Amino acid sequence: MMTRKTPGGKRQGVQISDRNYEVLLKVLLPEKYHNEDFDYLIDICVHTELIRLYVGEIRFSEFEEYTAHQILVGESIRKIGSAILNLSPDLRKRNLQTDWKTLDAICDIVSQNNRDNDLAILWDYCTKKMPVVHEQITQMINRELAFME
């Protein structure tokens, strides 16, 4: 579990496990929506949101200082990158309006060792690009739901 400061200055815990995530998927979504692409999209959406929580209310100087935040962000970015790499060509074709260049750039970050990456690059992705990715993936999920109907 990681903690972060809330606007009131209190610390709050943020935690999600793969098991909890799987349970949420099964409870919230009917079986017909469970396919690999859709599960990857949900995974990307969850981890972009987690990154927002990890860095949302801290400054870069705090991010540099908090090793736990760096590790959690790195893990989420690796999971996002892995999910992006596994998305099918069909899904990409159905979603041409998506900024695949930005998503593929995340995979490039993942292919390098995050521990060696410049923290400023990670911070930039987390604070500027991940919100855009989250929005795009949310829109893609909505389109995929309509496509599956």
Output the pLDDT for position 8.
45
pLDDT score recorded for residue 125: 83
Residue 68 makes CB contacts below 8 A (sequence gap 6+) with 2
Span 74-89, mean pLDDT? 87
Of the candidates 54, 44, 56, the one whose C-alpha atom is nearest the C-alpha of residue 14 is: 54
Average pLDDT over residues 112-134: 77
- Distance between CA 126 and CA 122 in Å, rounded? 6
Q: What is the mean pLDDT of residues 6-16?
A: 45
Chain segment 39-79, per-residue pLDDT in tens: 888 888 888 888 988 888 899 999 989 888 888 888 888 88
CB distance 51 to 130 below 8 Å = yes
> How much is the pTM?
0.72
Say yes or no to pLDDT of 35 above 80: no
- Cβ partners under 8 Å of residue 70, min gap 6: 63, 119, 122
- DSSP assignment, residue 33? G
Q: Are 51 and 76 in contact (CB under 8 A)?
A: yes
pLDDT grade, residue 7 (50/70/90)?
very low
Contact present, 69 and 2 (Cβ < 8 Å):
yes
